[in-house]
Amino acid sequence: MRKNLLTPVAAVTGSLALAATLTACGGSSAASDEKVVTVYSADGLKGENGDGWYDKVFKDFEKKTGIKVEYVEGGSGEMVQRAVREKSNTQADVLVTLPPFIQQADSKGLLKAYEPAGSEQVDGADKAADGKWTSVVNNYFGFIYNKKELTTPPKSWEELLDGKFKEKVQYSTPGVAGDGTAVLIKAMHDFGGKAPAMEYLKKLQTNNVGPSASTGKLAPKVDKGELHAANGDVQMNFAQSKDMPNLGIWFPAKGSGRPTTFALPYAAGLVDKAPHSENARKLLDFMLSEQAQKDVSAVGGGFSARKDIKATDSNATELGRLIEGVEIFEPDWSDIGTNLDSYVDAWKSATGS
């Protein structure tokens, strides 16, 4: 999704310069004693200005434990692919992605069972029955629009086909970005199957600017008016809207029907053969701790993964209003995990991507 970042807890932008160091120590017994933990994550939880949920959680975690967090960011699919490439010399300790990529990571043997403290308070639908992963931040799929260019948000998928949206619509790449894959999932639900969804997305291609590996980069374009509508997710876009005054969140409906969305949580798992597995367990525990979960809405603009945390901050109130009246459906993640490649291939064929 966004540009890969590698940071030592403080929000210091970098590239993958540390990769050589990580490779040198990956999987060694010496590495297990280091006061470090490496997180591979989908974007959205780290603030543009160092003020996101990850920024606070990582800082608080280091202060409490002395363990530094090395952070690598990319699209959900990209992070899974990278972890697969490194299986013979594991670099990541914790993997955080959106569905269905966390299920895909499990199917590829990347995850090891671990049930963090507090995970008993996570709803059964938001964690693996065998303990391979658990949601740490709940979230919902959504779209964004420019509030300055459009006095009201689009109401339906069909409205995006109008000529006024010519080269003013963009969505991130299915199969690469979690939110891009979510476009397929929602379209197949709303239109009643793969074939009608692909037929619609083929028509939308007339107005679509083109694929984007990064969902996070679409919001600034919408805020500036370069785009009038794009995909995203509630947590990331709500956090971005604090610095992007023209950003509005909306949920497409099919025709005159009710707008829909579905839960798209950030799910975390312990990486199998993690070089710093003990530190990884401590971080997963910390992410689900009471204070960290209270900070999910107050700091991160998301929804707590724990049922026993009842957030009352202003962000939580505003987030509740956002999804009021929106129908929330539950995707068949088993089917999506099994057939994801065929759905992405159908999308490529339909759109010529």
Are 319 and 137 contacting, i.e. CB atoms less than 8 angstroms apart?
A: no
Rg (CA), the chain: 19
Each of the 353 residues of the chain gets a pLDDT tens digit; together they read: 433 333 334 333 333 333 333 433 444 334 455 899 999 999 889 988 899 999 999 999 999 999 999 999 988 989 999 999 999 999 999 999 999 999 999 999 999 999 999 999 999 989 999 999 999 999 999 999 999 999 999 999 999 999 999 999 999 999 888 899 999 999 999 999 999 999 999 999 999 999 898 888 999 999 999 999 999 999 999 989 989 999 999 999 999 999 999 999 999 999 999 999 999 999 999 999 999 999 999 999 999 999 999 888 999 999 999 999 999 999 998 889 889 999 999 999 999 98
**What's the pLDDT score for residue 37?**
98
Each residue's pLDDT tens digit, 251-264: 999 999 999 999 99
Task: Output the six-digit token pair for 284.
Answer: 């997963």
Torsion (CA) 148, 150, 156, 159 in degrees, nearest 10: -140
Structure tokens at 241: 């809207």
pLDDT value at position 296?
Answer: 95
What pLDDT score was predicted for residue 8?
A: 39
pTM summary value: 0.81
Specify whether the CB–CB gap between 7 and 76 falls below 8 A: no
Two tokens, residue 345: 């291939």
pLDDT value of position 128: 94
Distance CA 79, CA 100 (A): 13
pLDDT value at position 25? 40
In this predicted model, what pLDDT tens digit does every residue of 157-204 receive, in sequence order? 999 999 999 999 999 999 888 899 999 999 999 999 999 999 999 999
Q: Please, what is the Cα angle at 131 between 173 and 117, to 5 degrees?
A: 105
Question: Cα separation of 98 and 49, whole Å?
Answer: 23
